[in-house]
Amino acid sequence: MDRLYDKLISYNEEDYYPMHMPGHKRNTKLMQMDNPYAIDITEIEGFDNLHQAEGILKQLSDRISRLYGAERSFPLINGSTAGILAGISAATKRGDKVLLARNAHKSVYHAAVQMELKPIYCYPQKIDELPVNGGILAVEIEEALITNIDIKLVVITSPTYEGIVSDIRLIAEIVHQHGAILLVDEAHGAHFGFHKGFPKSSVGLGADLVIQSFHKTLPSFTQTAVLHSNRRELNHKIEHYLAIYQSSSPSYLLLASIDRLVSMLEDEANSLFESYQEKLDKFYRTLGALKNLTLMDRHIVGHFGIYDLDPSKVTISVKKTQLSGHQLQEILRKQFHIVMEMEASDYVLGMTSICDTQEGFDRLANALLTIDKDEVDLKEKQNSKTESLPQRQTIIHKEAFLSKEAKSTKEVMLHKETRVPRQAMFPYEAYEHEAKQIKLLDSSGRIAANFVSLFPPGSPLLVPGEIIDERFVDYVKQMQQEGITITGLVGEQKDEIEVVD
């Protein structure tokens, strides 16, 4: 039988390179700590109390606020999940109507269930040329706020998992004109605002509450995060809810890791981000040579609600190749010992950070160039065998992420998501109902009783209370065939789904 600790140690001794979170990348040359047992305490005399910070933890929280320019920052040891739950709970009353971007992380929906919220949704822009969603348009938020004057809170994810940033400044202005609160899930943007090569953080762009996972994109232990508040009147309620959603025995190892990160950013953010940016620039330049695989880059900014793009996310599309996202991920892992963050049908996603080494960047760049060359060779072989067939397509280069038509299309054009599921009940109502398990294949027309999500990232394909349709069933079957992990399905073969009875 495997033992977890031994397995972790031996895994670390192998040469798998992490293109995934946590952001410290297990870079033990850069990040060091004493024996963890020596400093693992919880709230004892002289070490303050996370739930009522007045001493050293209050100082830590003040240092974070200064660093990010927030009115108040709450360090978290239960991930952004706890910050999102507490932020949404503090900003709403039970039963409130809220506007949620439908690509939200499941913690947003969990908060909606807890607070019995009545969500309506806005959708990120849909782009046929891109394997990922675009941004959320301010104009769509405005429309929803005009039609629903009783919306109390708007929740947006920016950046998305793939680094797509929406125009938060404009969205914040609109939300405030309508008297609502704006919460930005910036879980993937804790590294924003430290260098001109990266987007600005929503904290300084008018958002009221901003939640960031330190552990995702910065060197800090898993589960460390922060909730920034720019609305003093919400702070007391935030404290109240954090006491509900966070452990009453907070780990000082996790808090110490936040403290180390904050010191690092206070002392050497400039040099760390400068050197990181240089590595990223070289990486993107090198991969300009790709012919079949396509690396998402800044060409997409300014279109489809994409206000900015985080270069730290490496999104590689396989749309123009014979590979699936799953296959590319497998080749990278098995042949090149590079472990990516996520695979989807059409792309794989890698996460980079200030802790990545030049060797790590080079390894990924060389692997992608090699795989790309194999694709070219394969296509050439096939073409020489089939002379009667039309000439092979001209090689697709990186602009392939956008068609000519799309390139000339400005932000204001709406590319609405058409696969909008119908909401038969609010999520909390579906949760309260008796549920039963039925075959996925027979589920069309039934009401979902649980979430179904691609994992990662954990933003639901189906939310409790939504009506299951044929398209959803087909999509899930296709994902399963491609080997993509789907959570929320049940039964031994994962071919059943929970529906409202």
Ligand X SMILES: Cc1ncc(COP(=O)(O)O)c(C=O)c1O
The verdict on whether omega for the bond into residue 159 sits within 30 degrees of 0, i.e. cis, is yes
Q: CA 244 from chain center: how many Å?
A: 24
Least CB distance from residue 165 to ligand X, whole Å?
A: 13
Nearer to ligand X among residue 224 and residue 317 (C-beta): 224
Least CB distance from residue 213 to ligand X, whole Å?
A: 4
Contacts (Cβ under 8 Å, ≥6 apart) of 295: 284, 287, 314, 315, 316, 317, 368, 398
Q: CA distances (Å), 444 to each of 31, 404, 438, 499, in order?
A: 51, 38, 11, 10
Least CB distance from residue 76 to ligand X, whole Å?
A: 8
By CB under 6 A, the residues from 184 to 213 that bind ligand X are 185, 187-188, 213
- Measured CA to CA, the distance from residue 257 to residue 229 in angstroms comes to 22
Nearer to ligand X among residue 103 and residue 443 (C-beta): 103
By CB under 6 A, the residues from 78 to 137 that bind ligand X are 79-81, 105, 107
Give the pairing of strands 460-462 and 118-122.
unpaired
- Measured CA to CA, the distance from residue 345 to residue 381 in angstroms comes to 26
Nearer to ligand X among residue 204 and residue 456 (C-beta): 456
Nearest C-alpha neighbor of 287 from the set 337, 381, 350, 331:
350
Contacts (Cβ under 8 Å, ≥6 apart) of 486: 452, 453, 454, 455, 461, 476, 479, 480, 494
Contact pattern for ligand X over residues 429 through 468, marking x by CB under 6 A: ---------------------------xxx----------
DSSP bridge partners of 85: none
Residue with tokens 């507490």: 86
Count Cα atoms within 13 angstroms, Cβ side, for 280: 23
Q: Please tell me what DSSP assigns to residue 404.
A: H
Cβ-proximal residue to ligand X, closest one: 79
One-character DSSP codes across 11-30: HHHS--EEESSSTTTT-TTT
> Which stretch, 3-11, 183-191, 309-317, 447-455, contacts ligand X (CB under 6 A)?
183-191
Least CB distance from residue 386 to ligand X, whole Å?
A: 44
Q: What angle do CA 223, 226, 357 make, to 5 degrees?
A: 60
Nearer to ligand X among residue 187 and residue 349 (C-beta): 187
Burial (CB < 10 A; 0-12, 13-18, 19+), residue 387, is exposed
Least CB distance from residue 189 to ligand X, whole Å?
A: 9
Nearer to ligand X among residue 157 and residue 312 (C-beta): 157
Nearer to ligand X among residue 79 and residue 311 (C-beta): 79
Nearer to ligand X among residue 186 and residue 346 (C-beta): 186
Total site size for ligand X, rule CB under 6 A: 15
Contact pattern for ligand X over residues 50 through 79, marking x by CB under 6 A: -----------------------------x
Nearer to ligand X among residue 78 and residue 443 (C-beta): 78
Least CB distance from residue 322 to ligand X, whole Å?
A: 30
Question: Any contact of residue 20 with ligand X (CB under 6 A)?
Answer: no
DSSP bridge partners of 295: 316
Burial (CB < 10 A; 0-12, 13-18, 19+), residue 38, is exposed
Nearer to ligand X among residue 226 and residue 293 (C-beta): 226
Least CB distance from residue 188 to ligand X, whole Å?
A: 6
Least CB distance from residue 34 to ligand X, whole Å?
A: 25
Contact pattern for ligand X over residues 211 through 240, marking x by CB under 6 A: --x-----------x---------------
Residues at the site binding ligand X, with contacts judged by CB under 6 A: 79-81, 105, 107, 157, 161, 185, 187-188, 213, 225, 456-458
